[in-house]
Structure 1
């Protein structure tokens, strides 16, 4: 959403300093000339000297600071720009005269734009609110237009597309009177806002459709409407100021071409838009903006003819002229990618190595990981497996070094992670697992899976503060052997799913399932639907089919002869959303043979908490609120817990957000039980718990639980129970909120429901679980298993009644 139209342009200030020395006039004239000739460093040096030695008057000093800020911003140093705009703003405010209101408003907007460039829209939004208010009162139309545009960009960076679209629409009011390319920028950004909103709504529509949610049709209508609006805005951006030969018009033409590519009826629009963009770019002066536009043009052109190579030749020459290593690296890498697409691997490797070398010179890790990944793909395509592995390792090492920046990207961080970065991890795992994997490669694949999970959680929570606890390999293997436990990792790739077992003796076994990701997702979603429907036994056929798919004859043979007792599943993707306990071998459920737990990653907890409950806190709703139905058995559920532990219960109107926060943060509670409607969707916005009058969102829940850990480090919460929540069945990320929030808050165990069971059976299950854990002192997985076995042997044997509760261990 970068725009190149400046609001504040460095101005000549020599005429303003007649009361100062002639030396000042000479210096300022020199600064003006340096700026005009593009010698920005000399202009900065002179202005800094004036500030230090000449002590100009306040309004003159404010202008000098603003000039410095503007140049820093235009040369890509947004942090320095913010510092000097803040100094300028401080002076204008201290003067306390209305004649500087316009400068205050303009400086607020410029400062906000710099904050946006730094990826800090939370700082820019308050500044823009004030700037827009001043502009409206003073009828400063140009400042108001730019203020709303910058506000729209701020919301876009946050991924809040609805307010972004509204801001862009407000920026369009009266914009026809503007005599520059600002209208093109606004219409173009509005098009991108609608386009991104359509992508997010599409994800919601697919999830709703998978769960047979009645809202799916409405969501698809919204997708259609947003796409139509994106197209209309893109057209408008290219149909105004048609004689403009600016970069803004180029960007608008490229946006129109991108949207048109998705519609076969608009193929002529693609060709026409790209040809116009190419003509304008050929006449524009060399700049980094031009290089990046040429790269985008080449990628779009490559989809309909062979002009891409010619454009890339021009791109490389332009990049070399402006002598910017970061830009040159991008140009070389784009050329390498082109040759890779043409399967000319020698040339692809040459240009990619040039991109790597150039990026290494300036330690541009955000570029380097892309070229290392590209190198890995090239080596893999030419059968050089070891070289490909080394390149993948470098790419992922660079990614881990810069993961804070990659998770705080513009738009929807989780969605962008899945489309842009996740393929790197999965491509590496596929390479390691698809060959005759030795033990080293299997361990490396599982380590990569852990790193993928770490990055996935960071993108989900939009935070880079996740850390995985590590245990020594010796301790972990000793635990597996002592407890007769096997760890089962699933790894889902596009065309195959891999199972990697680590047996109690430490030995690895790997095998591939010949099923595509799409087919596996279809089977798992249908199984989940059947498991929830207690009206019939349709689940059984898929329980058996998936068991046979996941457990090969070799593994079945091993299980029959081993003394294996415990299974810990480290599942991937859609398999996280279903209970492994309900798999069926044709005679009995898997849980009838084994104790089953789930883990986020390989660094599983190797010490079980002792059931010494200092205090239990229980919260729940029985009444229907916020369109949720009643939960009549919650009262009984909480009362039963009170018979086993020192419990404080908060029911219905006593269960508010404030009471929840106060109780959790001020009590040494070892057990927190929450029996209320909740939703764990595929992102933070779709994840919440329902209190009596309001919802507790994921961030609030995490902050409350984390505060408890800080307040009582010696009394951690041993177990968090979420007994009436729902996870989104069709979304592979839906359980990340449930398990991730516990892990981030220092809670090592969470017992949660995949779907809500509004029936007495859930009370029976929970009551038996607590009795087994607290009274009989069974380990948590064994306590859950025994409670499930009791229901399986009763008339209420249907897995809808007992399999929804799954145990996650850190």
Structure 2
């Protein structure tokens, strides 16, 4: 009897543990006579994405176990029931199911030791069930935003897994803990834990669990932005899968590697991995998902013939799949791809075969079985990601009131996107899956929006919005709030549109960390599916004004631009990176520095707007009718000519044009107000141009004003630098480390540069060449309260955090690690680093958003001010500039911005370095006082 019970309990634990791991087999008609059969059927329904049906079956199984007096089996079933409720967004029901399960198992929150009933018979048998139940409770807490509770729950789950001698469970619990830590912003702690997990998996013998575990870890590493480590781990998973000869795991690893390659981005490699997935997978679902990702890549790369040839195969595969959430999501994605080839259509008539872009449509890549963890281990948040995946059979009729005719026709693809979506809606309703129905309804509304069928589109969008909100799905909700705002604007209801955009922005703000921690697809499509919400909202706010500007509206507009900038940085770091107490800039200029003005240029679709704050005056706004592409083209050409000393004539013409956009309309007021410092909160491509170099036809801006940049509208403790206490930690590298000599040049004048800092009267501690390692930097920063950290070494700013770094003698230090080195002293010493200087860095070539890396480095470092170069100039002129800057910095009558200006003016007068490419590369970010 005990043996039978043990087998049964093991089966239940197995079902619970793998409920989110393995793909669903073909749905079978199982007998309902036993609770075990019901539990198995519930698992089949859950794995098939039929969560509402799974709930009914699991409820029935739980009742039968209760009637039989089988408490442990009832507890296991209730924990599975909670998982199904979580997928439906029914958080209260999910909490109740988990609470009942834990109560049956004798779990008590206040019991910090065993947390298990002391019943001798149930104690050992219930350990696997208790561990799995805690695992699921942690997922529930994470989904509800209870991050600290989730971390504690998963730590307790790890203890129980250890007592149950379940190594795979311990790995799962640690991956879960890393997810909770990273979501709270504890990036390095999360990474350290994942490294431990990797070592544990590496030492285990080859097995199915090891292959799945490594793939799970690789997916998590990709989620947190460590793409190279993710790739290595996924390769390990693939090798294990090959050695155990599991086609299913081989194809799953290929699929994850394809997603990783796409994120890097390495499109040819991604295409190859998706093709391999299609070739070897035994799963129709995985095959369709890979085909959809492949189709999306073909469309992105304008591979017309390949895309057209793939569509019939996808349609055929879709018709083979049983109905499920994954099938519905895949159908939605397929419809969106068809729409790309229809409404965005292949412009075959122009002979170029190019896609016409539609900026309003959120685009994106697909990821594995959305709604389920991509790897199978229960490390992902239960919040569903953007649909990506598989489809369902049986083309049905559109729901009542919908037209059979496609509003979007394509000569290249006769498939009607609306009918594809109508079928998805019908299947979602049949399954009782409100979340999937919300996505399908909203997507259909988007198609009607493209053909200006406003009433039909609005009706569908409002239905989708109601379902998304009632399903607790904010990552879907904001999309339909945004869509509703566009529709209302198109119909002239500006007040209603503003309210809808406000709702969308509010939802995005509530997501912040979830947006990067949970919804991986948003990472791929930030510029398409998040950024436009903010920009279009600001445009509406500014357009809504007539006559005298409303200061409240202007304040709301610039706060919204700050929210966008924070969202960009969150997206850059894959974490919510700006928290804590800050001081509004307005208060600084009105009270502490009444000679500084703040300019907020905002690049909108058809207009460049500038909001200005002059000390002790209300906000003002002015603008110019000019399209965003024209602005970006002008700025791109200006940047190219700026770094070419020979292109001075073209540069001055373009620089004056930008000056006229940003400065000329307000110049007389600036002069009348006695302003001597301009602080810019730059937007978009404007970040690539140092404002000091703007030219009025006679003078550069730096010849009239000190100039500083701010990452947002607020400052951390804006205090002047105490000159009597200046001391600096200086580090430099004259030779690039091994493996980087081909990419970076020697910097022989580094020692001269550091000598000039000392000669300026600044006490220094030096780390030069081999002495300059990441560990040595960490040690010195922690041991001595330096007010300045000056790094004279190669570095690069990129739009990707893992490609933003500085070089030490032992290799690159990426921006996140660099930030943790400088910030660790916060726990030891109260003195913040007042000034960080990066004198030989540059923005990545060909990356028009690379200035994000500079802003990210400044934020991560935690320094009150950062001086850095936007591009690299010869190290002799750098040494001259650095010496002049530190001499000026010693003057107690000058702010840091004024010290920078004086140093740049000295370079401007130097016969060898008077070209803008030499003196204008340096910018001051943050506190300018």
TM-score (norm 2): 0.71
Q: How far apart, in 1, do the equivalents of 2:163 and 2:292 lie?
A: 42
Please name the residue that 2:387 is paired with.
Answer: none
Residues 230 and 76 of structure 1: CA distance in aligned 2, closer, same or farther (over 3 Å) = farther
Equivalent residue in structure 2 for 1:621, among 727, 732, 738? 732
Deviation, structure 1 residue 541? 3.0
Q: How far apart, in 2, do the equivalents of 1:740 and 1:231 lie?
A: 33
Q: Residues 135 and 154 of structure 2 are in contact (CA less than 8 Å); yes or no, is this contact kept in structure 1? A: no
Deviation, structure 1 residue 635? 2.4
Equivalent residue in structure 2 for 1:296, among 330, 333, 338? 333
Please name the residue that 1:717 is paired with.
Answer: 833
Please name the residue that 1:786 is paired with.
Answer: 902
Q: How far apart, in 1, do the equivalents of 2:238 and 2:816 lie?
A: 31
Residues 301 and 33 of structure 1: CA distance in aligned 2, closer, same or farther (over 3 Å) = same
Q: Secondary structure at the match of 1:700?
A: helix
Equivalent residue in structure 2 for 1:372, among 472, 481, 488? 481
Alignment of structure 1 residues 269-308 onto 2, 5 Å = 269-281=309-321, 284-285=322-323, 287-302=324-339, 303=341, 304-305=413-414, 307-308=416-417
1:35 aligns with 2:29: no
Please name the residue that 1:23 is paired with.
Answer: none
1:647 aligns with 2:719: no
Residues 750 and 127 of structure 1: CA distance in aligned 2, closer, same or farther (over 3 Å) = closer
Q: How far apart, in 2, do the equivalents of 1:115 and 1:424 lie?
A: 32
Q: Residues 602 and 683 of structure 2 are in contact (CA less than 8 Å); yes or no, is this contact kept in structure 1? A: yes
Deviation, structure 1 residue 561? 6.0
Residues 501 and 69 of structure 1: CA distance in aligned 2, closer, same or farther (over 3 Å) = closer
Q: Secondary structure at the match of 1:537?
A: helix
Please name the residue that 1:397 is paired with.
Answer: 506
Please name the residue that 1:749 is paired with.
Answer: 865
Residues 184 and 555 of structure 1: CA distance in aligned 2, closer, same or farther (over 3 Å) = same
Q: How far apart, in 1, do the equivalents of 2:875 and 2:799 lie?
A: 26
Q: How far apart, in 2, do the equivalents of 1:517 and 1:379 lie?
A: 23
Deviation, structure 1 residue 428? 1.2
**What do the CA deviations read for 1:657-695 (whole angstroms, capped 9, x no partner)?**
233222211222222222222222222222222223333
Q: How far apart, in 1, do the equivalents of 2:292 and 2:687 lie?
A: 40
**What do the CA deviations read for 1:453-476 (whole angstroms, capped 9, x no partner)?**
112222222322413755468734
Please name the residue that 1:454 is paired with.
Answer: 566
Equivalent residue in structure 1 for 2:420, among 311, 315, 320? 311
**What do the CA deviations read for 1:437-496 (whole angstroms, capped 9, x no partner)?**
63333222110111111122222223224137554687346249x633321111123444
1:352 aligns with 2:464: no
**What do the CA deviations read for 1:732-772 (whole angstroms, capped 9, x no partner)?**
54333434444444422112122233344333333332222
Residues 575 and 702 of structure 1: CA distance in aligned 2, closer, same or farther (over 3 Å) = same
**What do the CA deviations read for 1:489-539 (whole angstroms, capped 9, x no partner)?**
111234443222233452444333444444433433333333333456356
Alignment of structure 1 residues 39-118 onto 2, 5 Å = 39-41=57-59, 42=62, 45=74, 47=76, 49=104, 55-56=120-121, 60-61=125-126, 64=129, 86=158, 89-93=161-165
Please name the residue that 1:699 is paired with.
Answer: 816
Equivalent residue in structure 2 for 1:525, among 606, 628, 636? 636
Please name the residue that 1:669 is paired with.
Answer: 786
Q: Residues 676 and 724 of structure 1 are in contact (CA less than 8 Å); yes or no, is this contact kept in structure 2? A: yes
Q: How far apart, in 2, do the equivalents of 1:500 and 1:231 lie?
A: 47
Uncovered stretches (5+) of structure 2, i.e. residues with no partner: 10-32, 43-56, 66-72, 77-100, 107-116, 144-149, 184-189, 342-412
Residues 549 and 719 of structure 1: CA distance in aligned 2, closer, same or farther (over 3 Å) = same
1:766 aligns with 2:882: yes
Residues 292 and 768 of structure 1: CA distance in aligned 2, closer, same or farther (over 3 Å) = same
Q: Residues 376 and 387 of structure 1 are in contact (CA less than 8 Å); yes or no, is this contact kept in structure 2? A: yes
Alignment of structure 1 residues 552-563 onto 2, 5 Å = 554-556=665-667, 558=669, 563=674
Deviation, structure 1 residue 71? 9.2
Please name the residue that 1:657 is paired with.
Answer: 774
Q: How far apart, in 1, do the equivalents of 2:513 and 2:139 lie?
A: 25
Q: Secondary structure at the match of 1:453?
A: helix
Q: Residues 499 and 511 of structure 1 are in contact (CA less than 8 Å); yes or no, is this contact kept in structure 2? A: yes
More helix per residue: 1
Q: Residues 688 and 695 of structure 1 are in contact (CA less than 8 Å); yes or no, is this contact kept in structure 2? A: yes
Greater shift in the superposed pair: 77-86 or 352-361: 77-86
Residues 642 and 327 of structure 1: CA distance in aligned 2, closer, same or farther (over 3 Å) = same
**What do the CA deviations read for 1:284-307 (whole angstroms, capped 9, x no partner)?**
14x332332332233234443453
Q: Residues 613 and 645 of structure 1 are in contact (CA less than 8 Å); yes or no, is this contact kept in structure 2? A: no
Aligned Cα root-mean-square deviation (Å): 3.9
Please name the residue that 1:264 is paired with.
Answer: 304
Q: How far apart, in 1, do the equivalents of 2:141 and 2:431 lie?
A: 15
Q: Residues 796 and 806 of structure 2 are in contact (CA less than 8 Å); yes or no, is this contact kept in structure 1? A: yes
Please name the residue that 2:712 is paired with.
Answer: 601
Q: How far apart, in 1, do the equivalents of 2:250 and 2:124 lie?
A: 32
1:581 aligns with 2:699: no
Q: How far apart, in 1, do the equivalents of 2:824 and 2:253 lie?
A: 43
Q: Residues 547 and 585 of structure 1 are in contact (CA less than 8 Å); yes or no, is this contact kept in structure 2? A: no
Please name the residue that 1:492 is paired with.
Answer: 603
Q: How far apart, in 2, do the equivalents of 1:718 and 1:75 lie?
A: 42
Deviation, structure 1 residue 548? 4.7
Q: Secondary structure at the match of 1:806?
A: strand
Q: Secondary structure at the match of 1:756?
A: coil
Greater shift in the superposed pair: 685-694 or 142-151: 142-151
Deviation, structure 1 residue 388? 1.0
**What do the CA deviations read for 1:339-368 (whole angstroms, capped 9, x no partner)?**
323322212222222222233334432222
TM-score (norm 1): 0.80
Residues 76 and 631 of structure 1: CA distance in aligned 2, closer, same or farther (over 3 Å) = closer
Q: How far apart, in 1, do the equivalents of 2:843 and 2:306 lie?
A: 40
Q: How far apart, in 1, do the equivalents of 2:444 and 2:674 lie?
A: 57
Q: Residues 251 and 276 of structure 2 are in contact (CA less than 8 Å); yes or no, is this contact kept in structure 1? A: no
Deviation, structure 1 residue 798? 1.6
**What do the CA deviations read for 1:368-425 (whole angstroms, capped 9, x no partner)?**
2222111111111212111111111111111111111112246697654334322211
Q: How far apart, in 1, do the equivalents of 2:600 and 2:139 lie?
A: 50
Q: How far apart, in 1, do the equivalents of 2:136 and 2:705 lie?
A: 67
Q: Residues 577 and 729 of structure 1 are in contact (CA less than 8 Å); yes or no, is this contact kept in structure 2? A: no
Q: How far apart, in 1, do the equivalents of 2:800 and 2:642 lie?
A: 24
Equivalent residue in structure 2 for 1:166, among 216, 235, 238? 235
Equivalent residue in structure 2 for 1:680, among 778, 794, 797? 797
Please name the residue that 2:893 is paired with.
Answer: 777
Please name the residue that 2:436 is paired with.
Answer: 327
Residues 806 and 539 of structure 1: CA distance in aligned 2, closer, same or farther (over 3 Å) = farther
Residues 401 and 769 of structure 1: CA distance in aligned 2, closer, same or farther (over 3 Å) = same
Please name the residue that 1:207 is paired with.
Answer: none
Residues 518 and 165 of structure 1: CA distance in aligned 2, closer, same or farther (over 3 Å) = farther
1:632 aligns with 2:748: yes
1:430 aligns with 2:539: yes
Q: Secondary structure at the match of 2:539?
A: helix
Uncovered stretches (5+) of structure 1, i.e. residues with no partner: 1-11, 19-28, 94-103, 202-222
**What do the CA deviations read for 1:34-62 (whole angstroms, capped 9, x no partner)?**
41453324165255658859754888546
Q: Residues 530 and 538 of structure 1 are in contact (CA less than 8 Å); yes or no, is this contact kept in structure 2? A: no
Name the structure, 1 or 2, with higher relative contact order (CA <8 Å, separation 6+). Answer: 2
Please name the residue that 1:229 is paired with.
Answer: 272
